[in-house]
Structures are given as C-alpha cells and as structure tokens.
A and B are shown apart, each in its own frame.
Chain A
Amino acid sequence: MTNFTLNGLNVQVEEGTTLLEAAKFYGFPVPTLCYHEGLSPYGACRLCVVEIGEGPRAKLVSSCTYPAEEGLKVRTASTRVLRARKMVLELLLASCPQSKVIQDLASAHDIRRQRFKQEYEDCIMCGLCVRICEEQMMAKAIGFRNRGERRSIGTPFDIKSEECRLCGGCIYICPACQLRCTYTEPEKAICGACANLAPPCVEKEQFDDMMCYMDPCVACEIEKK
C-alpha cells in the first residue's frame, strides 16, 4: 500500500494506483477529457493536472498518468491548478468550440471569454478513438500520424483499413464530435445550453472532415469524401 497526502488528507491506496484514480476514489473531482476507465491512460488533454511537491519543486502533473508515490503531497484544486486548467479549457474551446463536452466543461469552470482566434477543428487529438480501437476492439485500424502541427489521426495511407470492423467505437467515444453542437452564433461559441440531440453525421456537409474513420459510416451511411 502507498501512503500519501491528498488535499491535506492522509490517504492510502494500492500500489500502482494513479493520482486520478485515488482522487476519484476519495471523492475529489478532477475534470478529464482524454481519460476513460476502460482504456489505458494517455495524458494528452492535460485537463486533469494536479499539483505535487512543495516549495520551489512543486509542479503540475497529469493525474491520469502519474502513479501515487509514498509520502507525495498532492493538491487537486490549488490556485495554480485552477489557473492552468482554465487556460487548457480556453485553448480547447478556441480549437473545438462545437464540442458539447468541451462547452460543458468550459461552462462548469467559469470560462467567460475566449481570447484566441477561433478555429473549428474536429479533433483535439485526445487519442480515445485510437485507444478504443486498439485496446477494446483489438483492431489497431487507426493511429496517430506525423507530429506537431501536422499531427492527425487516421488509417495508414488513408486507405480503408482491413482491420476495421465498422464497430463505431471511435465515433462513440469521441468527445469532439459526439453530440456536436450546431451553435447558433459561431463567434460566441460558448454553450448556450441547447439540447442538441441530432447525431453529428447528419450535418456532415457543414464539416470538412468528420472524425469518423469508418467507411461507409454505419451511423449515417454517408460515404466519406
């Protein structure tokens, strides 16, 4: 067992438990986006950062990937954590304003302005689809390609993958295109709490490239451009 301090509370967890699992277990809310219980943690979205250590050596780490260590001092909602989290959300919102998931998170964290140039990206590269495809569907039909600005997700050489069984897991798990909000005012794309229940694929013409790697898609049966 590992003993450590969580928000001032002395806690004990099994060895190998991540900070996120511990926080959840003890009831401290930590927002996540790229984390899913059934998948291995990846640490891409940086939303789940928590502060560890003390004094000048204190730093932020992603709680989903960081294992609990003996004697560690963890703070899940310090000023530094909240400030960083807000910036992450502001960046997310600027890139992917139509995602209902991101809008809700932004709203919950009191994001009132969005200062970056608005983009309408379909993907935040959280890798949930890649992981569900590999770990749960045992398919490895899709993966990451390239790096930096040109990073993208897709099938090798953009050819329909023979491994793909059209399970739809990727589109099911995607936080960016699931329940895509069609937003009435694109420039102020902070959630107006509209209940949008239409599947995103229906409005496919509005988006250049859906995060759907199935061809044809079983949800909408529209052939991919």
Chain B
Amino acid sequence: MEKLLSVDEFVDFRRRVLKKAEDETEGLTLVVCAGTGGQASGSNDVIRVIKRYILDHGLHEKIKLRITGCQGFCEMDPFIVVEPGQHLYPQLKMEDVPPVIEAALGGYVEEDLIYHEPGERRTYHSQADIPFFQKQTRTILGNNQTLDPIRIFDYVERGGYGALEKVLLNADPERVINEVKASGLRGRGGAGFPTGKKWEMGRASGKPGEQKYVVCNADEGDPGAYMDRSLLEGNPHLIIEGMIIGGIAVGATKGFVYVRSEYPLAIKHLVIALRQARELGLLGDNILGTDLLFDVEIVRGAGAFVCGEETALIKSIEGEAGEPRQRPPYPIEKGIWGHPTCINNVETWANVPVIINRGAEEYARVGVPGSTGTKIFSLVGKIKNTGLVEVPMGITIDEIVYDIGGGPSGRAKIKAVQTGGPSGGCIPASMFDLAVDYDSLAKVGSIMGSGGMIVMDETTCMVDIARYFMNFLKDESCGKCFTCRKGTQRMYELLDDITKGRGTPEHLELLEELALAVKDTTMCGLGQSAPNPVLTTLRYYRHEYERHIYDKKCDAFVCKDLVGAPCQAACPLGTEAWRYVALLEKGDYEGAYRVIREPNPLPSVCARVCNHPCEEKCRLGTTGEAPVGIRALKRFVTDRADPAAYAPPRAADAYGKKVAVVGAGPAGLAAAHYLSLAGHEVTVFEAEDKPGGMLIAGIPAYRLPRDVLEREIAALLDDNVTLELNTALGRDVTIDGLLDDGYAAVFLALGAHRSRKLGVPGEEAEGVYPSMRFLKAFNLHGESLARGRVGVVGGGNSAVDAARVAVRQEGVESVTIYYRRTREEMPAYDEEIEAVLDEGVELVTLVSPVEVEQAEGRLAGVKFIKNELGARDASGRRRPVAVAGSEYVAPLDTLIVAISEEPETEGIAAAGLDVTKWGTLRTDPKTFETGRPGVFAGGDVVRGPDTVVEALADGKNAAAVIDRYLRGYELTIPPEVRLPEVFVAPAEVAEEEEAGAGRAAVLHLGVEARVKNFAEVDQCLTEGVARQEARRCLRCDLEFTQTEAEPEEVVAVGDKQE
C-alpha cells in the first residue's frame, strides 16, 4: 500500500477507489457472517465448504465470497446472504451450502432453505422483507454486512474515511465540535452525557500545548451485551475514523482503545486495521503530510467489570489496579497521567463519521428530541430472534420485543425486560409501551446502559434474577467503597436467604433500606447503580418476593429449595408424581397407587380429567423435550391397582362434631372425606339427584365413564358421611338453619353452575341454551336438546364438551364452535381441541356474536362480526377488535352459549356472606373463612370456574382448617415447603435409550367407533409402554433424597487381594 503524503493525494485516492467500485458491476457475492457469534454457530465450516466449492468448480471469476463481522441476526447463524437479491439462507448445515451456491449461480431461490419465520410456511426472498430487519434502522450496524473488516479498501469503497476527508479539507475543530453538538449525540456507554459538550470541554481543558488523550471505551462487561464487540470486529475502521476526528476536535494526539482481552477477534481486526491506517498515512506523525499528529494504541483490559467506569479505566491504562476515584476532577480535566482525557464508548465513536457525513441536522432527524440517532441493543434471553438490533431512539419496547424480536422463545409469556445490564433495572411487560430513550428509561428506574436487553418470561424468577446480578456485582465491585463491597455481599446474602425459603418480612425491609443506602453512599457508577436490579424488582415484582417469603412459593419454579420436584410442587394436592412414576417403573403398582391415593380422594377421576399442571412444569418439558405423560401413567396405575391397597388413616380420637357440607362436587366430597377421617360426622347436601357436581353434570361420559366416577364416590361415603340428595341450599336448607340444627361448621362448595349470558339481543329465543343447561339435561337426565345445525359460542372446555356432546346426539347435522380469538388462545385443553376437530366439529375463530336472529320466536340464525387482532393486552395476547361492516349471518337451529360459568350466590348473599362483583364468594384465601364464623367455602363457588384438582385441593385443605376450627386451634397453617423425602433408587437408563425415547402416545378410540356413542375415548397405556414412559422421568427428586455417594464397600485390610 502506498503511503499518502498529502490531503490532495488522499482525496484523489478516495475518488479512485470509489470510481472503481462504481464501475465494477455488482457481481454475485456470498456474504457470510463470521463474527464471534457466527463462528460459534459454525460459520467457519460454511466458509470452508464455500471455498472448497469455488476451488473445485473453478468459480473464482463468477462468485465472490465476503466474510464479514457480526450482522446481528445471531439466532439464524450461520447464514449466507446472496447478493444481489439479498436472499438470506439461515441456520445452514455444511451439506446445505452446495445447493445454496447452485441456486445463486442459477439465479433462483432455494425454497427449502430460504428464510421463513419459525412455525410459518411463508418464505421471505429478500432480507429487507424479514420482520426482524423491517423495523430496524441499521445506520451503524448495517455496514458490517457490506465489508470485510480486514480490508481497508472495502471500507473506503463504502464511502469510508469520507468524514475524515471533510474534516481535513476544512480543518476547523470548532466546526466539528459544533456539528457534533448540534447532532444531539449522547454517550452510548450508558450515562448519556452529550458528546459535543464533552469535546468542547476537552478542547478548552488543559494548558496550551498540553498532551491530551482520547479513549475508546471497549470494556464491555454487561452479561449478554456484545454490540461494542461486534462493531470492533465488524467495522474497526469506523471507530478509528471517529477517533481521528475526535482527536482533531479535542486537540489530542494520542488515542487509546481499551478493549477486553476476552475479545480476541476484535483485537485482531483492530490491530490489522490500525496497521493499514498507518500504512496509508492516516495515523502517525504528520497525518497525510499535514502537521497533524495522531496515533492509536490498544490497551487490553484484564476483564474487570469496573474498568468500564472511566476513572477506573484511566487507572488501568496507567498500569494500576482498576479502582475508580472521586470525580471531580473529571477525566476531561485530569485524566490519564493527569492530562485531559476524552473518553467515549465504541458506539459513540462509530456515530461520529455518520454525523459528519450526513450533517447534524439530517442525523438529528432520526430519534426523538433529547435522544437522537439510533441505538444498538443486544436482544437476548427468552426471545425468538436473539441478536443485535439497531433501532431509532424513541421506539417502544413492545416493538423491539415483539415486532423485531419475534416474541417469546417458548410457550411462557414475556414478563419483563432488563435493560442496562447489572446496573439497569427490570421493566415489566405492562410498561412495554415505554419509549426507549435515555430519559424515559431513567424515569422507570432503569438505564439505557450500553444496550443489553435481556428478555424474561414467566419461567424467570425475579428474586433469582436480582440474586444473580448481586452475585455478579459482589465479585465485580472493585471493593474500594465499603458500602459497595459489603453492601452487594449483604444484598446477595439477603436475596439468597429469600430464594432458599429462609426469608422473613424483615429481610424485605432491610434489603430495601440497604439498597437505598448503597445507592446513596458509593463513589462510582457501579456502586450507585448496583442496587438497581434489587430496587426495580422490588418496585414492580414485590409480590414475587412476598410469595417467596410468606407462602414459600416460587411461581416461576426456579428457586430449587422452594420447588423441590417441579411435578410435586405444581400439583395443588402436592401429589408426589416423581415417586409413583419411579415405583411404576419398578413394577410396584400397589405402592404407586398408595402414593397416588394418599393425597387425592378421587385418583381415577384425576387420571382422566385433570389438567395435569405437573406435566406443564415437568423439567423434561421445560428443557425442550416432551414432558413425561404423568396423567397417562396415573391412569395406568389407577386402572390396574386394587383400591383396597390403600386404607386411609383415621384420627384416633373421634372428635365427633357435626359438619354440614353443601354440594357434592369434588370440593365438597374431598372436604367430607377428610373431615370424616378426622373423626367428624359429616352430612353432604346435594341439590341434584346424583352426587358428583360438575364431574357428573358437566364432564361427559366419554371423558369420565360413569361407573368409574360412581365407584370412586361410593368409596368415600363411609359411616361418618351422610348424603342428602335433592336438597338445595336456599330451597330446602339455609345456613342459619344448619347452624341452628347443631352443625358446628358449614362448608359451602356449591360450584359454578350457571352459564353467563352473551348479552346480545334475541338471546331468549327458543333453541338457545346456556351450556350448563344443555350439558346437565343430557348428563343427568339423558335429554338431547341439540338438533339440526348446532353452534357453540366459546373457547373453553365447556364449549368443547358441549360441542362433543352435541355431535353425539341424534338429529344433529353439523356442529360449529365460534371463538373470538385464535385457536392458540383457546383456554380449552389442546388434546380436547384436537379431539373435537377429529370428530368433525368445525372451528370458526375471530368472530363474535352480535345478535340472535329469530323466526316466530325460535332461533333462526346468529349474526356474527369478524374480529382482527389488535394491540397487545397486559398478558401479551393481542386483543380481538371488531372489523366494522364485517357482519354476516350463520343460519343455526341450536345455539349453545358456553362463554363462562358463574356461581349462583344471590341466595347466599342474603345470608350475610360477602360476594364479589363476579358473583363468587369472598373468603380468606388461606383459611377459607367467609365473613361468618363457622362458615367456610371453597371450590368453584369461590374461584369461579376452575379445575377439578383445584377443587379437590380446596376441599382437602378446608377440611384441615375446619378440623382446627372445631378443635379450637389457630386456623392459619404456616406454609411449609414440601421437598421430596423418600428415596427410590433410580432406574439405569443407557444413553442411547435416553436419546431415542419419545413421549408415549395415548391411544384414542377411532373417530368412527366413538362419535355416536359415549364410550371412553382415551385408552389406557399398556404395561410395557407405561413402564417405558416412566423411565423417561429425569427424577428431579434424587437431588433431595439421594444421600452422598453411596459408601464404597469396605474391604478389610487382610482381605485385600492382588
């Protein structure tokens, strides 16, 4: 490379290079991202294959290969972009590369490999159309794709060093400073100090002729942040150009790049770039023959987080331990070796050439007043599109997370984002409409920081997150300020206590007090912002802290010492699922049955209709595989084992009080059973002529065969329990009457049996049935109400139940379910939705009924309006919004309204009990007490429509409380963490077996065989399949039950043989 000796030569050189680039037609180019992220994902393999292919086929003339730094779409690494055309082929394997090259040569797109959104079929031919790129403004980062970082000519070809040319041709530092000031550029390192102002101070600072320095701060230490790294790796000349301009403006003759040793590729590229710039004469003494003097030196940091703080960074450059010192004096007055030092972040430097090239006014047009330009964020965590995104300031978090990031990576909903790394704060999902700029973020207690954005979903525990950051900070605090060093340790200690179940209300109080004190009393930015993770989580997620402290529960299932085995913790009844699965694997079915039956009075029922929260939380499922089929295994055990294997233990001292239970559903029956075991005499009053409540009235026989249900209920009705059928509260008995009759306590478990109305005109027409009326008529009395064309409105389980019952009735032509949102949002269980569709029911989504049309008082049809998905609500789901003018009429003969159920509590309200606006009873959530002494309530009458297992748990727990009440004890039972206690030896599973095993499928009765009758649809697993399925269990319990490594066999010294 020839050295350029004057500014004119430089201008001429740039013209030549640009002209040449213009003349050359855009050839076919394969662009491969080989930043650190790309290389980790295997882009080096892809590059190797491309090179080999080009060599083997002699394609040097036809194809160019450009190896670039990070392009930002790290989730899709390794990928190839084919230019021109910008076809992006993501996540390539080595064998995918030849077809891509062939397609590029042939001028077509390889449809099988081209980009498509995960889970969608639609393909995107041009990179620009991909949603990830669409909302971005890639002013800085976009260049990474267009150049090879180790080729200075690539940079010049793209207009590089044009800003420097401008500055050199009109070498007036004041003008440069004014331009930067007018652009509104603020420091991208986090604090957001106006860069132009800093430069102005730098220019004015120091004695005339005094040595000054500029520093590029590339000590990027935030966990999960890597935008500075990617800039240095992918476009080092941009940073160098920015620094030269900065040096000229401030009057500095020496620049330092302080970069961490953990960034070897960035250092390598920077070293090459500096050498090239020097060879060209852009750095060194007499730059381009002028009297300007400027050179850049690399200083490698040893990896201390605190060295990102400017005064610590200065100490480190000076060769001392990185320890911040008091400001003032600020580095701009007294920096490295006491000389004025202007420190800016990598991204800030990268913005400088852009400002000079475009002009301040043009630059300031992007962004919002007060925060101009773009900002690069590293979007990581529980997000679909992990990567670097560059967005204009002022964009909302919602747009970044959902539109660019593609939403949550898993099934769990997004709960918060953490911005600004360990010094930042957590912003809850309810505030995602917040604009991302320096001031808005500060207002909610977080900071912009260097641009880390960690997305968290519901499987993230906020207490654990705070603990994680405090653990990081207690190691990374420099240790100079006592309150930072000890304060972070103590905060960690308090948080650790809370996550381990040792938290008390005092912990919370002390934590907050300490956090504020640390924020107040420390010297540097690290200490002052260190409590932010604690303070913001306390501010927005205090309820999670309280759950950990008061209830000893971690709802995200993260804190191991509060969760134990996730399946057990997820079960409202606390069933030791791991234990019966382990016993089943050993063939001990009776043992397994005892484990199942002990906490659950209706095991066969739950084995069929439970919503299996245990499977939702199964660690096999949360780590990417299909969860263990726990419910199917329970079914296998309950079908096979003799119920007589378990005799429930009875209280030795029959206390003999009389208790009335109103309602013979799961909650009432469970309460009656456990009160009876505790030695009380129980009378169960049931309004219908059969016991079972919703189990019999709501759940159809094809899901829960009647003989199974009747047998299980009968087993609960022992000598202590009397059942009074056809006795309704309000009609036949009253609460006052019961208490007067000598009942010492009353448990109300009335359920929620009334369907809510649609609230549209014409609903009273004949042929319109509330779902509960429709289901009860059939399930209890064998009456078929559906005929002709049947419509069901709703998306929950009762809608699906109604549709499946209707399909089985005589005289039904067709059944259609109408739901206002999309299928993904239907609350009904997935397997139920699949089954109902198999049975020939049609599903129409995104419609809402607006009017019931009548003919002579009878239903003739329903007018629906179409919906589209609108803005997201707090739950992250998009709200259905009616499309004006999209009404249409569906002719129907029967309409079943199944939008929700509510309890019938009007009568009870009169008896002096407190009723909520949803019509449910208000009780103390821990003690089940209503407002009246001696009257308790649980199940759906309190919860509104909920699951069977929750009702059973309510009944069981209420029984314990009522027993305490009758014995005159304190009602509140202190929360206890139930960790696995019993050791069951693990099965030996070979690795091949582990890899090959998929979840056992439950066999269903064929559609033909089941659709016109009420035979049970789900079949029991066979023994072999069940035992195989049980072997898939990860046995989370062993962590708690397995004692230290089994003692080795002791061999007496004398017995030792050669």
Q: Give A contacts to B, CB under 8 Å.
A: 42-46, 49, 59-62, 65-67, 69, 80, 83-84, 87-88, 91-92, 94-95, 115-117, 124-127, 144, 146-151
CB distance from A152 to the nearest CB of B (A): 9
**CB pair A91 B486 closer than 8 Å:** yes
**CB pair A125 B485 closer than 8 Å:** yes
**CB pair B490 A91 closer than 8 Å:** yes
**CB pair A49 B520 closer than 8 Å:** yes
Q: Complex formed: what's the CA distance from A128 to B487 in Å?
A: 21
Beyond contacts A67-B328, A88-B483, A125-B480: 4 other A-B pairs, Cβ-Cβ < 8 A, are A49-B520, A66-B326, A66-B328, A88-B521
Q: Give B contacts to A, CB under 8 Å.
A: 304, 306, 321-323, 325-326, 328-329, 473-483, 485-490, 493, 506, 510, 513-514, 517, 520-523
In the bound complex, residues from chain A placing their C-beta under 8 Å from that of B326 are 43, 61-62, 65-66
Pick the contact of B520 from A43, A84, A151 — CB < 8 Å?
A84
CB distance from A45 to the nearest CB of B (A): 5
**CB pair A116 B493 closer than 8 Å:** yes
In the bound complex, residues from chain B placing their C-beta under 8 Å from that of A92 are 482
Instruction: Please count the residue pairs between chain A and chain B whose beta carbons lie under 8 angstroms apart in the complex.
Output: 101
Q: Complex formed: what's the CA distance from A18 to B514 in Å?
A: 27
Pick the contact of B328 from A62, A69, A83 — CB < 8 Å?
A69
Ordered by A's residue number, 27 sampled pairs between the chains whose C-beta atoms are within 8 Å are: A43-B326, A44-B482, A45-B482, A46-B481, A46-B521, A65-B325, A65-B326, A67-B328, A67-B329, A80-B520, A84-B521, A87-B517, A88-B483, A91-B486, A91-B487, A91-B514, A116-B490, A116-B510, A124-B482, A126-B482, A144-B323, A148-B473, A148-B478, A149-B474, A149-B475, A150-B475, A151-B479
CB distance from B358 to the nearest CB of A (A): 34
**CB pair B523 A88 closer than 8 Å:** no
CB distance from B201 to the nearest CB of A (A): 16
CB distance from B304 to the nearest CB of A (A): 6
CB distance from B598 to the nearest CB of A (A): 39
Pick the contact of A147 from B304, B328, B482, B487 — CB < 8 Å?
B304
The 8 closest A-B pairs by CB, nearest first: A151-B479, A87-B517, A65-B326, A46-B521, A148-B475, A148-B477, A60-B520, A46-B483
**CB pair B479 A117 closer than 8 Å:** no
In the bound complex, residues from chain B placing their C-beta under 8 Å from that of A149 are 474-475, 477, 479, 485, 489
Q: Complex formed: what's the CA distance from A69 to B483 in Å?
A: 25
**CB pair A46 B485 closer than 8 Å:** no
In the bound complex, residues from chain A placing their C-beta under 8 Å from that of B480 are 42-44, 125, 127
In the bound complex, residues from chain B placing their C-beta under 8 Å from that of A91 are 482-483, 486-487, 490, 514
Pick the contact of B514 from A60, A67, A69, A87 — CB < 8 Å?
A87
Q: Known interface pairs A65-B326, A95-B486. Does A147 touch B517 (Cβ–Cβ under 8 Å)?
A: no
In the bound complex, residues from chain B placing their C-beta under 8 Å from that of A144 are 321, 323, 479
Among B321, B326, B506, find the residue whose CB has the most chain A CB atoms closer than 10 A: B326
CB distance from B192 to the nearest CB of A (A): 15
Closest chain A residue to B306, Cβ basis: A147
**CB pair A147 B478 closer than 8 Å:** yes
**CB pair A88 B482 closer than 8 Å:** yes
Q: Complex formed: what's the CA distance from A117 to B513 in Å?
A: 16
Q: Complex formed: what's the CA distance from A59 to B525 in Å?
A: 13
CB distance from A83 to the nearest CB of B (A): 7
Q: Known interface pairs A43-B326, A62-B326, A91-B486. Does A117 touch B522 (Cβ–Cβ under 8 Å)?
A: no
CB distance from B528 to the nearest CB of A (A): 9
In the bound complex, residues from chain B placing their C-beta under 8 Å from that of A116 are 490, 493, 510
Among A46, A115, A144, find the residue whose CB has the most chain B CB atoms closer than 10 A: A46
CB distance from B656 to the nearest CB of A (A): 49
In the bound complex, residues from chain B placing their C-beta under 8 Å from that of A148 are 473-479, 485, 488
CB distance from B544 to the nearest CB of A (A): 22
CB distance from A46 to the nearest CB of B (A): 4
**CB pair A84 B476 closer than 8 Å:** no
In the bound complex, residues from chain B placing their C-beta under 8 Å from that of A124 are 482
In the bound complex, residues from chain B placing their C-beta under 8 Å from that of A84 are 517, 520-521
Q: Complex formed: what's the CA distance from A83 to B516 in Å?
A: 10
**CB pair A46 B522 closer than 8 Å:** yes
Q: Complex formed: what's the CA distance from A60 to B506 in Å?
A: 26
**CB pair A115 B477 closer than 8 Å:** no
Q: Complex formed: what's the CA distance from A146 to B306 in Å?
A: 12
Q: Complex formed: what's the CA distance from A69 to B520 in Å?
A: 20
Q: Known interface pairs A43-B326, A69-B328, A91-B490. Does A147 touch B521 (Cβ–Cβ under 8 Å)?
A: no
